Structure 1
Amino acid sequence: MAKFLRKPQHERLKDGVTCVHLVTEDNSPLHYVAFRMLDVEKGATYRETLADMEVCIVALTGKITVRTENKIFNKIGSRNSVFEKIPTDSVYVGSGQWFEIAGQSEMARVAFCYSPAKKALPARFIPAFENTIEERGKYQNKRLVHNILPDDSDVAESVLVVEVFTEGGNFSSYPPHKHDQNNLPEESFLEESYYHEMNPPQGFVFQRVYTDDRSIDETMTVENRDMVLVPAGYHPVGVPDGYTSYYLNVMAGPERIWKFYNDPAHAFILDRK
């Protein structure tokens, strides 16, 4: 199996709570990005106390209630499928705090997007209507973007979170770009993770992760609910005809700014008329 491809694990943590993915510094090449994906049944709960990490809790599908030390966010979540293509609700929790989630629908799919943090920023509800929506690209490089925690948000210290939808026959994260050099203002260093879903679910996409010197060069067949980790390098995604791709991106690095560098070999496509 490819080094940067993660298959879903479906590990039962307790009654009603299943861990689909767990990415940490201990089990991955990532140092700034960590990730957890849980499937939570109605009435089931999950509780965690953060140390030196912050988290953005994304109600991917279904409804959940999120409790923190001094706030309760009741029955958040706006969709039954990510392919409804509408933004959803999220909750930010700063370092040093505890939180608890409870399932409020038959099944809720919940993403936990972590990154290191020194400040104990206050918990904050990020309602769906605060997500900015963008259509990016042209020709066969079109995609729809929901910005949950973009780099111009003051909610978080280091984590960035975004959702991307790409129709069949299109590429995204394209032309191939990277952000693995601390060379501001031209390029920032940000690690990245991709959590993928497909519609219909038997679909697949291709994702390549490669560096200029090819010390990293992997092309992966990515299936429904797989993850791809990007510690460095370019990372384009290609979607076959007949399927729609969804992915949730988490990015983090030394500075909370997204400045990317396009692969010069392929940047010419931006100049087409």
Structure 2
Amino acid sequence: MYLPAGTAGGGDGCPVEITPERAGWRYCGLRVHELPAGGEITFETGGFEQLVLPLAGGGRVRCGGQTFTLDGRASVFDRVTDFVYLPIGHTVTISTDTGMRCALPAARATRRLPARYGPAERVPVEVRGAGPATRQVNNFCAPEAFECDRLVAVELLTPGGNWSSYPPHKHDIAGDGEAELEEIYYFETDGLAYQRVYGSTEVLAEVGAGDVVLVPDGYHGPSIAAPGYDLYYLNVLAGPAPERTMACRDDPAHHWVRASWQAQRPDERVPMTSHRGRTR
């Protein structure tokens, strides 16, 4: 399902609100909040573990008697950011002095883990692929990087003219669809980009800043950044499997692409950002 910017919102100051009920699935969700200078929101996490991930700006998060300060960043293309983990069953307040746009990836959970701060310096930054398929992956909430019950979330940065989420793949390790992950793509770009999904949902869409694509099942990819325009997207994943994983299966017709990377050099524009700021 493709949701253009302005159609995925939940009201003033919340341009994106994806719940399992709205998506037609069971586990995965995402909200994006726009807080003005001096702004504040309070909410209950309920049965969902969540993250507070600054997209632009910084602020404070109060949860379970603790207050966490988020340095944030000027934009998703500026640097890797810090973040906060929110457990199930808590009241949370997010506030900012200077203004902040933040994403709240969410997953239906059963284990109650402690609220925690994730420093930017501990986020693993990966250069994936080669040639025109080179991209940067910020594995801030990948299974091996940060403990959650079900939630998985990573950021992708793709320089203009490159392809990511490629080869097309699906997160259906058992091969029967029973353990397939639900996945949300949230996009930021100042130009042209495209996203393809094919399975029970067929999407081939031009995507821009604030657009959302939902992947209930099937193959997804590529994500294409038009020449001259860098592309950011946030991936949020969750599903029924007892162990968190991002393992995937390529579309057999395109699996050969991975082997071709051995004869190519990574694009020198990647990594595009670091924990301290832009790398070039």
Task: Return the TM-score normalized by structure 2.
Answer: 0.86
Give the alignment partner of residue 148 of structure 1, picking from 108, 118, 140. 140
Q: Distance in 2 between matches of 1:28 and 1:77?
A: 32
Q: Which residue of 2 aligns with 1:190?
A: 181
What corresponds to 1:96 in structure 2?
A: 89
**Corresponding residue for 1:8?**
6
The residue number in structure 2 matching 1:241 is 227
The superposition leaves residues 151-173 of structure 1 with CA deviations (integer Å, 9 ceiling, x where unpaired) of 12453111011111001111101
Change (3 A) 1:132 1:12: same
CA–CA distance in 2 between the matches of 1:92 and 1:152? 15
Q: What do you get for the CA RMSD once the two structures are aligned?
A: 1.8
In the alignment, which residue of structure 1 is the partner of 2:255?
Answer: 267
* Alpha-carbon distance in 2 for matches of 1:30, 1:188: 13
Structure 2 counterpart of 1:8, which letter?
A: G
- How far residue 147 of structure 1 moved from its aligned partner, in angstroms, is 1.0
- Residue correspondences, number: 256
Q: Does 1:170 align with 2:162?
A: yes
- Which residue of 2 is the match for residue 179 of structure 1? 171
Relative to the length of structure 1, the TM-score reads 0.88
In structure 1, give the amino acid aligned to 2:97: Q
**Contact 1:60/1:77 (<8 A) preserved:** no
Kindly report which structure 2 residues correspond to 1:100-139, keeping only aligned pairs within 5 A, or say none.
100-105=93-98, 107-139=99-131
Give 1:234 deviation, angstroms.
1.5
Sequence identity (%):
35
Residue deviations 1:215-262 (CA, integer Å, cap 9, x gap): 432211111111111111111111111100001111111131111000
User: Which residue pairs with 2:192 in the alignment?
Assistant: 204
The Cα shift of 1:77 comes to 2.8
Question: Which structure features the higher share of strand residues?
Answer: 1
Write out the 4+ residue segments of structure 1 that deviate beyond 2 Å after TM superposition.
3-13, 180-184
In structure 2, distance between residues paired with 1:182 and 1:41: 45
Report deviation, 1:267.
1.1
What SS does the corresponding residue of 1:77 show, helix, strand or coil?
Answer: strand
Residues in 2 aligned to 1:48 and 1:159: alpha-carbon distance in whole angstroms: 19
Residues of 2 paired with 1:251 and 1:244: CA distance? 23
Q: How far has the Cα of 1:52 moved from its partner?
A: 1.2
State the shift of 1:78 in Å. 3.1
Gaps of 5+ in 2: 264-280
SS of the equivalent of 2:23 reads coil
8 Å CA contact retained: 1:33, 1:251: yes
Indicate the residue corresponding to 1:232 in structure 2: 217
Preserved CA contact (<8 Å) 1:188 1:258: no
C-alpha separation in 2, matches of 1:182 and 1:32:
18
CA distance in 1, matches of 2:38, 2:86: 22
Match of 1:250 among 236, 249, 255: 236
Return the offset for 1:59: 1.4
How far apart are the structure 1 equivalents of 2:135 and 2:97?
A: 31
Is 1:59 the equivalent of 2:44? no
C-alpha distance in 2, partners of 1:25/1:118?
16
Q: Secondary structure at the match of 1:270?
A: helix
